[in-house]
Homo-oligomer: A and B are copies of this chain.
């Protein structure tokens, strides 16, 4: 057999050869879009590789990007790994001390920074220990003035570079290609490294009919940042399959996202539930044509039933859950129904759609507790563990590796049950699980039930200490504008779905739920704020 290496250079060649006129469409301002066909994109990518090489980029050099979703960032996505260097996408929403930490920890030597984000980073530059060059990405052919010695204009560097630059032909598939840090509950963010092989195989997985079914006729809009798990792999896969790719830039508000879907006739899009909650509310205010969409993929946290129902039934737009994390590239599972469910009632089907779904090809999952793998009963909780060719095996130079990676598996820290069909249903994070009198209560199940109430915008359920039961659930609820549901009404609304001892002991009403940089509920903060909350009853 030929020992063809699974490297990203093949994707770039394919895009250039077979899909020269397919487009990368970037939102550059609320009213402007930038369009570039693959053929020109590929030329610019070669120029960028040439420019970076002239600045000293070598095999294994870490090059950081600090940028929104746009064509220049996408140029970096291929120019860096196809040269044998490592693309380190930096989460721009992290706290400054975390940003400084990860750039130093990764030992980035070159940084690519968005022009409008540069002022944000400027004050931190003095703390960076390994960065030698900074390239500012904007239309401006002149670099901004800075106290940092080597700051360049991206466009000027590209102008001076060679579009006939040749990528090395001898890359090996196990070479490091990408890097991403994920925030930790405590301590500094943890880094993971993707390889050419892992990215190529993960990209193929996005083309499978059983998962995203990405293909040439698609117009793909990742509403998930390119600085977070490679925008779930869309940028790489879209180039390979020849799909148009729509990049929203910094404009991720529900209204602008819906406009973009309508204008660009988007066929497939993906984002966190918060985005889709917002978009639903916006769509109810002002209707856009969403008929081109064949698939909305929701991941990052659980989607409430009502949200799934609203898209699938009210808007007639297929809305499917996916599950994954930074450590898993991210795709692990998807909640597409199987033919077995053809005879299911709407309710039964909704119970499937609300899960994190069936494990995709090449990936193995197990849910285990102290007794071993849990039965497929939809009830017994355990920790989800994952392995496969795009699951990382360690945190980069980090002792926390030992907690998460054991016996050849990644322990996800997610508590799950398996439905009778083998679908994964996340019920909690290990750390968010409520342990009441020796039994486990799922905060996520309670949240979903609360969020299906028409008056509830968001709900987070946390454990608060209890003298008798060790922990008891406390619900934090954000009501919709002008909604007035009371604690009693909400408790009554959910009581038929749960054992009595599962019900929250109290409900506090908040203006908003604190969130992480990627839009997930920040329960650690809620727990900290409410740790002295005195539960009223039991």
Q: Kindly state whether residue A408 has any CB partner on chain B within 8 Å.
A: yes
Given contact pairs A6-B389, A213-B213, A207 touches B361 in the complex (Cβ within 8 A): yes
Question: What is the minimal beta-carbon distance from A245 to any residue of chain B, in angstroms?
Answer: 14
Contact partners of A205 in chain B: CB under 8 A = 204
Q: Report if A119 contacts B (CB, 8 A).
A: no
Cβ A174 vs Cβ B18 within 8 A: no
| Alpha-carbon distance A214/B340, docked complex (angstroms) | 17
Residue of B nearest to A241 (CB): B210
Contact of B210 with A208 in the complex, beta carbons under 8 Å: no
Decide if B338 touches A422 in the complex (CB within 8 Å): no
- For window 269-312 of A, CB contacts with B under 8 Å fall at none
Cβ contacts under 8 Å, A355 to chain B: none
Chain B CB within 8 A of A215 CB: yes
Point out the residues of chain B lying under 8 angstroms from A21, CB to CB.
340
Indicate whether A400 reaches chain B with its CB closer than 8 angstroms: no
- Are A208 and B204 also in contact (CB < 8 A) when A14-B361, A217-B338, A361-B241 are? yes
Min Cβ gap A58→B in Å is 21
State whether B2 touches A240 (Cβ < 8 A): no
- Check if B362 sits within 8 Å of A4, measured CB to CB: yes
Query: Across the interface, do A18 and B389 meet the contact criterion of CB distance under 8 Å?
Result: no
A10 CB, min distance to chain B CBs, angstroms: 7
A353 at the interface (CB under 8 A from B): no
A387-445 contacts to B (CB < 8 Å): 387-393, 408, 410, 422
Q: How many residues of A contact B (CB 8 A)?
A: 51
From the candidates B1, B13, B174, B242, name the one contacting A195 in the complex (CB within 8 A): B1
Q: Write out the residue numbers on chain B whose beta carbons fall within 8 Å of the beta carbon of A213.
A: 209, 213
Contacts of A389 in B (CB 8 A): 1-2, 4, 6
Identical chains bound together, number: 2
Contact flags A1-43 to B (C-beta < 8 A → 1, else 0):
1111010001001100111010000000000000000000000
- Determine if A262 is an interface residue (Cβ-Cβ < 8 Å): no
Q: Write out the residue numbers on chain B whose beta carbons fall within 8 Å of the beta carbon of A198.
A: 1
When distances are taken between beta carbons in the complex, the residues of chain B under 8 Å from A240 are 361
Interfacial chain B residues near A4, Cβ < 8 Å: 362, 387-389, 391
Contacts of A242 in B (CB 8 A): 338
Determine if A339 is an interface residue (Cβ-Cβ < 8 Å): yes
Inter-chain contact A10/B364, CB cutoff 8 Å:
yes
Chain A residues 213-266 with CB under 8 Å of chain B are 213-217, 240-242
- Whether A61 sits at the interface, judged by CB under 8 Å, is no
Contact mask A107-136 → B, CB, 8 Å, 1/0?
000000000000000000000000000000
A65 interfacial by beta-carbon distance below 8 Å? no
Q: Does A502 contact B (CB under 8 A)?
A: no
CB distance from A385 to the nearest CB of B (A): 12
A391 to B3, CA, bound (A): 9
Q: Is A193 an interface residue (CB 8 A)?
A: yes
Query: A194 at interface (Cβ–Cβ under 8 A)?
Result: yes
Instruction: Tell me whether B204 and A210 are in contact (CB under 8 A).
Output: no
Chain B's nearest CB lies how many Å from the CB of A158?
Answer: 27
Select which of B17, B362, B392 is within 8 A of A204 by beta carbon: B362
Chain B: CB-nearest residue to A196: B1
Contact yes or no, B2 A388, CB < 8 A: yes
In angstroms, Cα B408 to Cα A389, docked, is 26
Q: Which residues of B contact A358 (CB under 8 A)?
A: 18
> How near does chain B come to A69, taking the closest CB pair, in angstroms?
23
A residues lining the B interface (CB < 8 Å): 1-4, 6, 10, 13-14, 17-19, 21, 174, 193-195, 197-198, 200, 204-205, 207-210, 213-217, 240-242, 338-340, 358-359, 361-362, 364, 387-393, 408, 410, 422
Q: Which 8 A-B pairs have the closest CB atoms?
A: A209-B213, A209-B215, A4-B389, A207-B208, A2-B393, A1-B195, A210-B215, A1-B198
A-B contact pairs, 26 of them (CB 8 A): A1-B174, A1-B195, A1-B197, A1-B198, A1-B389, A1-B390, A2-B387, A2-B391, A2-B410, A3-B174, A4-B387, A4-B388, A4-B391, A6-B362, A14-B361, A18-B422, A204-B361, A207-B208, A207-B209, A207-B210, A213-B213, A216-B338, A217-B338, A217-B339, A240-B361, A242-B338
